[in-house]
Structure 1
């Protein structure tokens, strides 16, 4: 475990891109470009890339059967910190591989290093993002990236303390807060972890008292932050008009105060578009436990009894699956405070 200190990489790590594997690239193009409002580039080899800002790639869509996020890319501030993280991984006996020139080019980075991550999501680090030559062509006015990275990911887990331990070991993640919530009679606890000024870059939820995971995909949702409230409203309208499913209506979260909605992606996990979350002040922040995820709104949209039964089926199936946690990097796990 790496305590904050002189060798801490906290603040030098930013969520940079996600790699999504899907056989529904046409639907993904409509969802990302036409509904959410992102810039879309179609590469010669059949890959899709979405941009939020000047970086060449924020989302890479590649053809394949997973219908899931398969890799997370982390922008590291400099090569010294990059090599420090690499040394950590190797010191724990975990193998690393260098991405090929073709893989780096597809992701819009100069070079990348890959190593195993929780839930089967490969973790990739890079120090030099490549900037696009062409101006953005988006339906949205813009998105907030910068020092906070491009957003966050949320996962469900049967081993949440090990996942918290993993991101603390690798990136010196810090606990921001907790949320306790009861959903359809099931009690869940959510942990929110930050690696920079963004309130959280990783959220981890588990069903309390039961070793089940009700989510098929490796992530439950991903989040991007819109520049304006108008962008949130207009993208919500486009999602509905284009016939994509809405998972949760507009609402505001209790802990980070972000106003957002959740749409269902073509691959089945959710995509949150939010606005105006709080920024953490490291000199004063203290972790807090909140009761419920929302101050108002975020009500389920169009959920049927069949949907709920399917979640119970997935939860039952998860009992027979061994969840990947990369024990060598998780330490003994961090007990809840």
Structure 2
């Protein structure tokens, strides 16, 4: 690989948007706009978007049966960084496709490239997001984006070292820390990866010692960061009042110290609204391992023994459904430190 392609892109990449495929548009509109408090725009009968800031698109919902995240979009700072990432992917023989004008328009971006990602989630890179002149119409006072990006994506995996290797190869992701957790007797190891100042843009959870994936959807949860504590509290209240399921009550994480709660989306994966996580200082940060995901709170809401049994059944089924990986971009994976 040439020197240009191998130069680090860390700090010049930011989680920019998420593409979700769903047939539950009415429920998603109520969930995103009326409960969480985001700005909502209908594009046509098969497309709608949510905004958090002046960018035209932070969440793109398109009609379809998946009920899942189907793509993640990464904003890169400039064309040189865009071409550096493209060169990495092409050099390893992975197919890439230029986004069409219509795809770029619906995502509100200038230049778009698409290529395969872990678990079948298409990875997209883009430059120069379009901004909207229209004032935000939303219940929240604001959301934290900027250089830290949109928030984060959490994924469960039976092949965590390959997934970590993928994001290291493509985006020069750095390990922030680990969490070891035991839930209902199942031991989990969670790896947290950052690509900029945000504590993590990607979290990868794996069952220790077992090659199973206990989650039906490609993602376990998405995260957005509220501008104020009042925004978090009021959205929590609206989720309850509008009858959406709460997965985990308000609590505080051990590693990034974020205060948050988890609601269940109409598509089944979870949605974390957080506030005030730590910002990584690259000069001093050292990876460490934390015991348990929470200092306090984050207790399951309304979970029954049937829910737990269903989760174990999903894990057993995953043994017969090999997880999609992109070996050419994952290398041999990165072993735990």
TM-score by length of 2: 0.98
Alignment of 1:16-27 (within 5 A): 16-27=16-27
How many Å apart are 1:111 and its aligned residue?
Answer: 2.2
Task: Call closer, same or farther: CA 1:180–1:2 in 2, change over 3 Å.
Answer: farther
The whole-number CA distance in structure 2 between the counterparts of 1:264 and 1:83 is 37
Give the Cα separation in 2 of the matches to 1:113 and 1:232.
34
Distance 1:223 1:73 in 2: 14
Residue of structure 2 equivalent to 1:247: 247
Paired with 2:334 and 2:315, the residues of 1 have a C-alpha distance of 24
Query: Map of 1:179-198 to 2, 5 A cutoff?
Result: 179-198=179-198
SS of corresponding position for 1:112: strand
1:233 maps to 233
Contact 1:259 1:277 in 2 (8 A): yes
Task: Please give the residue correspondences for 1:1-337 in structure 2 after superposition, counting only pairs within 5 Å.
Answer: 7-337=7-337
Check conservation: 1:2, 1:168, Cα contact below 8 A.
no
Instruction: Say which SS state the counterpart of residue 312 (structure 1) adopts.
Output: helix
Q: Which whole-Å CA distance do the structure 1 matches of 2:233 and 2:282 have between them?
A: 31
Quote how far apart the aligned CAs of 1:46 are. Answer: 2.8
- Cα distance in 2 between the residues matched to 1:304 and 1:2: 54
1:176–1:287 Cα contact (<8 Å) kept? yes
Unmatched runs of 5 consecutive residues or more in structure 2: none
**How far apart, CA to CA, are the structure 2 residues paired with 1:222 and 1:281?**
24
Q: Distance in 1 between matches of 2:133 and 2:21?
A: 26
Q: Is residue 152–residue 224 contact of structure 1 (8 Å, CA) maintained in 2?
A: yes
Aligned residues of 1:2 and 1:172 also touching (Cα < 8 A): no
SS in 2 for 1:33: helix
Q: For residues 243-275 of structure 1, give each alpha carbon's deviation from its aligned partner in whole angstroms, at most 9, with x where no partner exists.
A: 000000000000000000000000000000000
Q: What CA distance in whole angstroms lies between the structure 1 residues aligned with 2:314 and 2:19? A: 24
> Aligned partners of 2:30, 2:60: CA distance in 1, in Å?
15
How far did 1:148 drift? 0.5
CA distance in 2, matches of 1:296, 1:181: 14
Q: Structure 1 regions of 5+ residues with no counterpart? A: none
Separation in 2 of the partners of 1:45 and 1:230? 34
| Cα separation, 1, equivalents of 2:146 and 2:278 | 15
Cα deviation, residue 7, structure 1: 1.0
Cα distance in 2, alignment partners of residues 267 and 56 from structure 1:
23
Please provide the CA RMSD for this pair. 1.4
- Quote how far apart the aligned CAs of 1:45 are: 4.6
1:43 deviates by 0.5
Moved beyond 2 Å, runs of 4+: none
Native 8 Å contact 1:2 1:8 kept in 2? no
Cα pair 1:2 1:169 within 8 Å, conserved: no
8 Å Cα contact 1:67-1:267 kept in structure 2: yes
User: Residue by residue, what CA displacement relative to the aligned partner does 1:200-246 show, whole Å, maximum 9, x if unpaired?
Assistant: 00000100111110000000000000000000000000000000000
| Cα distance in structure 1, aligned partners of 2:109 and 2:20 | 17
Q: CA deviation at 1:128?
A: 1.1
Contact 2:6 2:88 in 1 (8 A): no
